[in-house]
Amino acid sequence: MNTPRTIARLLLGAGLVFTGIAHLTFAREEFVAQVPRWLPLPTDLVVVASGVVEIALGLALLVGRHRVAVGWTVAAFFVAIFPGNIEQFVRGTDAFGLDTDLARGIRLLFQPLLVLVALWSTGAWAAWRARRRSARDQTPA
């Protein structure tokens, strides 16, 4: 694993731990504002559970074991929480200093970037490509 990937993985892990702690403490109301109304679960449960998951995923990134599996899991988590960001945009909810449609729209663009960073920094994308290449090379012509 090269240095830029390691740095990105560690920063992503630290960011997830920080955000998870924020879910459980000082930014709880902002996260409540992002829970989609159509989700059939208690809002506070969603905020607490996602905070705990973020802390766990962040710590997994920081520890660095099972990087490929963790990378895919973190990427899937970012996809799973994307509806909350869409909900904030659609409802026009002010949270996290995002008080305009433009600011909320720009934030939406960063979610796919987080997915890519999770896959790149953990080597998950490279491992997937290597498996595909290996399978292709072993296929009879």
Residue 133 token pair: 């290449």
Q: What is the pTM of this model?
A: 0.90
Res 141: pLDDT: 61
Res 94: pLDDT: 86
Q: Which H or E run contains 73?
A: helix 67-91
Tracing tokens 């240095």 back to the chain, one arrives at: 3
Res 89: pLDDT: 92
pLDDT digits (tens, 9 = 90+) for 60-86: 999 989 999 999 999 999 999 999 999
Give the rounded percent of residues in the chain with a pLDDT score beyond 70. 98
Average pLDDT over residues 120-130: 96
Overall domain count for the chain: 1
Q: What is the span of the domain harbouring residue 29?
A: 3-138
78, burial (CB in 10 Å: exposed 0-12, middle 13-18, buried 19+)? buried
8 A C-beta contact, residue 124 and residue 72: yes
Alpha-carbon torsion, ordered 96, 103, 49, 122, to 10 deg = -110
Q: Which residues contact 22 (CB under 8 A, 6 or more apart)?
A: 28, 31, 51
